[in-house]
Amino acid sequence: MAYQFDFTPVLDNAGLLLTGAGFTLALTAVGAVFGIGLGVLGAVCRAWKLAPFDRLFGLYVEVIRNTPFLVQLFFIFFGLPSLGVKMTEWQAAVLAMVINLGAYSTEIIRAGIQATPRGQLEAAESLAMTRTQTFKHVVLRPALAKVWPALTSQVIIVMLGSAVCSQIATEELTFAANFIQSRSFRAFETYFVTTAIYFVMALLIRQLLIQLGQRVVVGRAR
């Protein structure tokens, strides 16, 4: 018997999917801002070997890059309460995304910082620029301009990985899709639409970050 496609149950719950997509975008936005901020801090410590923080960030990067994101999420949401640290699903999801993105962006940004030509630093010194001015205009912005495409891709990867946050009942897009599927039993239609929404969100985030990079990072780094 041929399968009869029926997208009606999914379309009837479009509002639930859009709410979940908005939640996913919010998670991604907060995770990206604080994750990249943490990555800048870690990159500076590692690139300039600021002891003992360089070793601490080195250990942090190795632990996060060599463990699954789902395990990190479970450790935060289920493990930390054993030590008296309790948080909501939203807080746990945000913290997990920040920590995960922070580790990967640390290495990405560090590569950009270490690619700064020595001549540029000497030129900044000859112009009597302060360390803060040198770091901001000569080191950080050019470094971010070099690695912005890699950072953009990493943010999208984290956004897609946020789907596992549904495992702790975070009401993001995948959670909404699972809810609809469990009541309509239209698995193909539900996850087909969900896949399309993730695809569109990934494209939109990429274009947004490209435009942001061109205006704020690359443009000012020239």
Domain boundaries, the chain: 27-170
Pairwise CA distance, residues 147 & 157, whole Å: 15
**pTM for the complete prediction?**
0.89
- Residue 57 Cα distances to 45, 106, 163, 193, angstroms: 8, 8, 27, 40
- Interior/surface letters 124-136, b for 16+ CB within 10 angstroms, e for the rest: beeeebeeeebbe
Residue 39 contacts by C-beta under 8 Å, 6 or more apart in sequence?
101, 102, 103, 104, 105, 106, 108, 109
Mean pLDDT by 10 residues, the chain (222 residues): 87 95 96 95 90 94 96 96 92 96 95 77 64 70 88 96 94 96 94 97 95 75 50
Please tell me the predicted confidence (pLDDT) of residue 146.
87
| 133 three-class SS | helix
Pairwise CA distance, residues 96 & 76, whole Å: 7
Please state which CATH class domain 27-170 belongs to: mainly alpha
Please tell me the predicted confidence (pLDDT) of residue 143.
83
For helices 14-47 and 53-65, the axis angle rounded to 10 degrees is 140
